[in-house]
Chains A and B, each alone.
Chain A
Amino acid sequence: MAGCLIDPSRAPVAFGWRAVPQLFEELQQAEADRRLRALASLCDLMHDPERIYQAVNGGFLEQLEVLFEDEDSSVRTKTCELLHLMTAHSIGRQALLSSSLLPPLSRLVEDNSSSCRRNVHRVLNRLTLLPAGADALLTLVPKLMLKLRGEEDEEEEVQVLLLSTLSSCSRLDALPALASDGVSLLGHKLSHRSPNIRREAAAVLMALSVCEDGKLQVCEESLLPVLVNLLHDEDIEVQANAAGVIMYTVIITTGKKQCLDLDVIPVLLELVSKKEEVEEEKKRKSRKALVMYSLRALTALAEAPDGRRLLLEQLPLLLRRSEAAEEDHDIRRDAQTAVRVINWRP
């Protein structure tokens, strides 16, 4: 029974407590075949949080560092997949941060094999679920921007992962991405055909436009027409993110002027006033985000004289939203703020 393997692609797993240590010992063998099987079994085991805890506490992560430099690309891919599973839990994420695995991992971003690269990006993406992880990846942001720029024909998934990682990092600190000329790059991505990429690119832009510099760059690169186009997009998340970028950009005067030139107020009003049908929860949440961002954008636009003039005409519509009929507390508050700003007299 011990001689034949039930599943030839997996190494046999010891019982109970010995499972994880024994598999890690197996990883130190010379043949790539056995290592691959041991890695496959480990991937299966790592779905259980207790195993992750055991692996992390036993200090086995350092062994993975050796595997990063393995010649066989499938071993590298599997190792990254293992890390991807481990970072599904907070312990794994924290362990990855506190270990010295990040530099070799970042070297693997340049790897030859595309599946390996994909898994590396998955790991990095999961790592950003932890704010400290996003913090640690800030140093990698220029490299990732280069990657984004260099691969126009890279798979969609990798681009989406990259963009998502970048958005999490930029939420913490937008400066590295801005310094690598992120705004213009993302402007290209905004017109990509895949809605995922558009959504993520708009999310990164939103994170970038929080800081003053970003807003200025968005105005300079004349991305606002593209964004206004995106407001008409089918995917609601894309709309929400585009509205978010606009919301930030119209805070500065240049942005206000440009947006008013583009005649964005009717579009936003339409978005705000659309009464949604009963949808599933996720859509409702995105809908709520969209409405909130549009209201904020309108509030900011109301500070400009032209904008105020236009909005004074449309005041009843906003009043309707701010009434008690609106069940969502946040939207009501936003609408009230908007009304207040519109009615403000110096």
Chain B
Amino acid sequence: MAFVSQSQRAPNESYTFASRPRPVENRSKYREPPSEQTHSNYGNIMYDRRVVRGNTYAQLIIPTTAQPDPVEAQRQQENRRRAIARKRAREQFRPSTPEALQGRKHIDVQTELYLEELSDVIVATDVQCQTDAFLDKPATPLFIPAKSGKDVETQIEEGELFDFDREVQPVLEVLVGKTIEQSLEEVMEEEELASLRAQQRAFEELRNNELAEVLRLQEQERRHSEEKGRRIAQQKEVLKKEKETAEKIAARAYTQQYLADLLPAVFTSLRSHGYFYDPVEKDIENNFFPWLMAEVNNSLEKRYTTRELLDTIIHDVTQKRLKMFKEPEMQ
């Protein structure tokens, strides 16, 4: 059941407790408390069974004079019995002294005769003490240990604290060392480069040498092969020419033979075709004879014409005579 309670610790350390008045909850004795608040459940006390009604004087008397309820008596007996049983169980479970070891026996001893009065009352008194607030702590005295040992003095002379020559030595060493280191590096670098170049140059020279030889041999090879090529070509030319010449000769011989009797044959055929002629004869033939024939033709034509003319005349004459003959006959 949730409730607001004030329980404070008072400054003088006594415990107080105060809570709001609240009605008793309706619940059975052996039941679990309900989880939710049961504000609504609390009822009117007028109707609560647990509240005593009426006159309370009479109530007090009645339980003493009334007969014991048998149920009540039985219940009481049961309680008694239960209590006895509980006691017994408790006694049983109470640890008793362990059994005696082998060879020994427990004996009860009473020390009444040897009782002593405890008269040693220790007197106790209460004493209080309180320190003062923030008292300043006094200055602790200087701790000066007891003097022991020898007394010794010392004095620093001039020039002893700082000796330039000695102090400057490491600085000098570093400076000189660094300079030398730097210069050594530079020199090494240069030497390395120089040796690299020298090596390269030596290699280059050898290479040039060999290269020259290679090129020369190459050139030689080229020349030789060119020469060979040229010679071979020349030889081929010669051969070709020879062959050509031989062919020409053969051809000429054959042709000569073939054409040996070509000439007379040609001449004869030409002559037969009339290509060889006597020019005078030809001229006479071509010019004179046509003219002669033409003249002969002309003269013959003239004769024919005259003959024809004569014929016609004769014809005419005969015709006329005939006519003349016929005319008289008719007369």
Instruction: Determine chain A's interface SS by DSSP, over half rule.
Output: helix
- Cα distance A248–B205 in the bound complex, in angstroms: 13
Q: A88-B189, A244-B208 are in contact. Are A129 and B220 (CB under 8 A)?
A: no
Beta-carbon contact of A248 and B212 below 8 Å:
yes
Beta-carbon contact of A293 and B209 below 8 Å:
yes
- Nearest opposing residue in chain A for B224, CB measure: A346
- Check: A311 CB closer than 8 A to any chain B CB: no
- Check: B185 CB closer than 8 A to any chain A CB: yes
Report which of B182, B202, B215 forms a contact with A251, defined as CB distance below 8 A.
B215
Give residues 170-213 of B contacting A (CB, 8 Å).
182, 185-186, 189, 192-193, 196-198, 200-202, 204-206, 208-209, 211-213
Beta-carbon contact of A206 and B208 below 8 Å:
yes
Contact partners of A289 in chain B: CB under 8 A: 205
Beta-carbon contact of B223 and A253 below 8 Å:
yes
- Check: A48 CB closer than 8 A to any chain B CB: yes
Instruction: Determine chain B's interface SS by DSSP, over half rule.
Output: helix
Beta-carbon contact of A248 and B220 below 8 Å:
no
Beta-carbon contact of A330 and B204 below 8 Å:
no
Beta-carbon contact of B209 and A296 below 8 Å:
yes
- Cα distance A253–B220 in the bound complex, in angstroms: 10
Shortest distance from the beta carbon of B187 to any chain A beta carbon, whole Å:
9
Beta-carbon contact of A251 and B212 below 8 Å:
yes
Contact partners of B213 in chain A: CB under 8 A: 296, 299, 337
Q: A47-B182, A88-B193 are in contact. Are A296 and B216 (CB under 8 A)?
A: yes
- Cα distance A282–B202 in the bound complex, in angstroms: 10
Give residues 139-177 of A contacting B (CB, 8 Å).
171
Report which of A85, A292, A303 forms a contact with B209, defined as CB distance below 8 A.
A292
Shortest distance from the beta carbon of A23 to any chain B beta carbon, whole Å:
15
- Cα distance A171–B200 in the bound complex, in angstroms: 12
Beta-carbon contact of B182 and A210 below 8 Å:
no
Q: A210-B215, A251-B219, A337-B213 are in contact. Are A48 and B202 (CB under 8 A)?
A: no
- Check: A300 CB closer than 8 A to any chain B CB: yes
- Cα distance A282–B205 in the bound complex, in angstroms: 13
Shortest distance from the beta carbon of B172 to any chain A beta carbon, whole Å:
14
Shortest distance from the beta carbon of B21 to any chain A beta carbon, whole Å:
83
Partner-B contacts on A (CB < 8 A)? 44, 47-48, 85, 88-89, 126, 129, 171, 206, 210, 244, 247-248, 251-253, 282, 285, 288-289, 292-293, 296-297, 299-300, 303, 330, 334, 337
Top 6 A-B pairs, shortest CB-CB distance: A47-B185, A296-B212, A289-B205, A251-B219, A300-B216, A247-B212
Partner-A contacts on B (CB < 8 A)? 182, 185-186, 189, 192-193, 196-198, 200-202, 204-206, 208-209, 211-213, 215-216, 218-220, 223
A and B contact pairs by CB, cutoff 8 A, 28 listed? A44-B182, A47-B182, A47-B185, A47-B186, A47-B189, A88-B192, A126-B193, A129-B200, A206-B208, A244-B208, A248-B215, A251-B216, A251-B218, A253-B223, A282-B198, A285-B205, A292-B205, A293-B208, A293-B212, A296-B209, A296-B212, A296-B213, A296-B216, A299-B213, A303-B220, A330-B206, A334-B209, A337-B213
